[in-house]
Structure 1
């Protein structure tokens, strides 16, 4: 264990400290507004901050010796609680502003009742979030990071040149991303060649979602992990690397919107305790149409990321970071 902070920007420990300081401070700055429920954007930013802090703790793990209260599992518990409230905000916004205005009057009346139920549920979860942020484990986690930033302790890899260690840190995430089974959703093999099903109808896509929707959602989470990990080190790579980060963000967005659509449908079904196709046929049709459009966007990216040249290019980019960078 090393107890002195490195001031050499060529070393891994130097960047570990800067990353923790940046994302910890960006997380706690939104805490007061979240407690007051002042702005949904504050909740979103704090949730993202917690996720990024978790990624920093994981990604820089070989260079860090953190207190128990500041380890990844502690961060994850708080992030999950914030996520529950954020998911309700997303659902509420979609129903109220995107779908409800376009529905016939009969369905709007039902939708408004659902919104009232959603608001009650949101209040319950908000109370849980406020309690989490006031309780001992979260306060201990904050103090642990504050203490560490004042007197940091490092692992032996802290003195390793960062440009030499980055490929070993990033390639496992990239490989897990490439090997996710969702890439083969709707793909068939013939004589060792991949064949993507063409011109799928809405009904075909609905069937695929019903069978493999959870696998697609799992890829969304994997895309988020690899994106956050790669974003930690954009300063060490040139434009092609950053282009891949943006593209993976698009994959995450598309798959996230598909998942949000299913979550909304599930909530409606639970809330109404009936077949929503009968009570909200227009809304169900809109949800299906949105998923189909998102599926078309996904398919072009799926085809690109199944191509051997795409995979080879990203691996080669990751292997060759630049030798100097300035943290932003």
Structure 2
């Protein structure tokens, strides 16, 4: 946030207000272009705005007194509709620009048919988004936020100084992230040691992801939640905090590569009514390679964050806020 915003935010309630105001207006900014289907980027930005608004409400929940129509679950339902359309856009972009040019002509023709089928699905998803944004539920949600921003209402704890309660807001999110079972995928746990299987062949990784890939997808979603929560407070922390935030972003992106490969295979299998390797063997191999390369990128981060000292240092970074009289270059 800008310095003027920092100066305005004296307590937890002030900071919550600034975050909600920012992400609510970002969401509204792209609404018209999404309805007109002008640019996929508008849909992406509106979806991100919704996600960050939801994250702000979740993170500041102890301080907020919001109307029922503006609760976190209401935003989630709207975001789900936007997400379905956005997911199709991401799939199409990957198929057209990343994979199609590298396929033999026979597979290109098959993929063209699959993309045409995706276009039909996209048309249906777009209509669903338009109906969602025209529905009374969404209109009521917007009105509720507009009213709340004019006359905000808080819980008593909102008066607490932000720097005093900030670690208490973030620590539960970080702990939930670290306790996720996805960290142990591909490891051998023999207390007190956790050994990571670094020598798995591509075929073994493919099978492991086929059997248990959902747990990594769940960890990715947890990383995304942590990232959004941490990004609310980057102006109050120093370089150590920024470094851990960057790691969380990397984890989200790397695990996203693995998940995107799996989703592409599932979608194409459904469209073709056949396993991808049967009709698109070159593409199937490319998807396996993409997932395997992401797995190799994931393992160093996995090893780092299974280390107790790294986790402890992360938690300690939450206590090392920039105080009022500290310079931005200091961590303490």
TM over 0.5: yes
Give the structure 2 partner of residue 27 of structure 1. 27
The answer to whether the 8 A contact 1:236-1:324 is kept is no
How many angstroms does 1:8 deviate by? Answer: 5.8
Give the structure 2 partner of residue 285 of structure 1. 285
**Do structure 1's residue 11 and structure 2's residue 11 form an aligned pair?**
yes
How many angstroms does 1:198 deviate by? Answer: 2.2
Distance in 1, matches of 2:79 and 2:314, equals: 30
TM-score by length of 1: 0.95
In structure 2, the CA distance between the partners of 1:90 and 1:318, relative to structure 1 (3 Å rule), is same
How many angstroms does 1:10 deviate by? Answer: 2.6
Higher relative contact order (CA 8 A, sep 6+): 1
Give the structure 2 partner of residue 187 of structure 1. 187
Distance in 2, matches of 1:274 and 1:189, equals: 37
Cα RMSD (Å): 1.2
Give the structure 1 partner of residue 320 of structure 2. 320
Distance in 2, matches of 1:137 and 1:321, equals: 40
The answer to whether the 8 A contact 2:70-2:141 is kept is yes
> Secondary structure at the residue paired with 1:200?
coil
Give the structure 2 partner of residue 101 of structure 1. 101
Distance in 2, matches of 1:228 and 1:324, equals: 24
Distance in 2, matches of 1:78 and 1:188, equals: 41
Give the structure 2 partner of residue 309 of structure 1. 309
- What are the within-5 Å matches in structure 2 for residues 148-297 of structure 1? 148-190=148-190, 192-297=192-297
> Secondary structure at the residue paired with 2:177?
helix
Stretches of 4+ moved more than 3 A in 1? Answer: none
> Secondary structure at the residue paired with 2:321?
coil
Distance in 1, matches of 2:140 and 2:318, equals: 37
Distance in 2, matches of 1:215 and 1:204, equals: 17
Distance in 1, matches of 2:132 and 2:269, equals: 29
**Do structure 1's residue 66 and structure 2's residue 66 form an aligned pair?**
yes
Distance in 1, matches of 2:158 and 2:191, equals: 48
Distance in 2, matches of 1:36 and 1:113, equals: 26
Give the structure 1 partner of residue 329 of structure 2. none
Deviations 1:24-62 (A, max 9, x none): 011110000000000000000000000000011111111
- What are the within-5 Å matches in structure 2 for residues 40-79 of structure 1? 40-79=40-79
> Secondary structure at the residue paired with 1:188?
strand
Distance in 2, matches of 1:258 and 1:207, equals: 13
How many angstroms does 1:212 deviate by? Answer: 1.2
TM-score by length of 2: 0.94
How many angstroms does 1:278 deviate by? Answer: 1.5
Give the structure 1 partner of residue 128 of structure 2. 128
Distance in 1, matches of 2:257 and 2:32, equals: 29
How many angstroms does 1:191 deviate by? Answer: 5.1
> Secondary structure at the residue paired with 1:132?
helix
Distance in 2, matches of 1:93 and 1:8, equals: 42
How many angstroms does 1:63 deviate by? Answer: 1.3
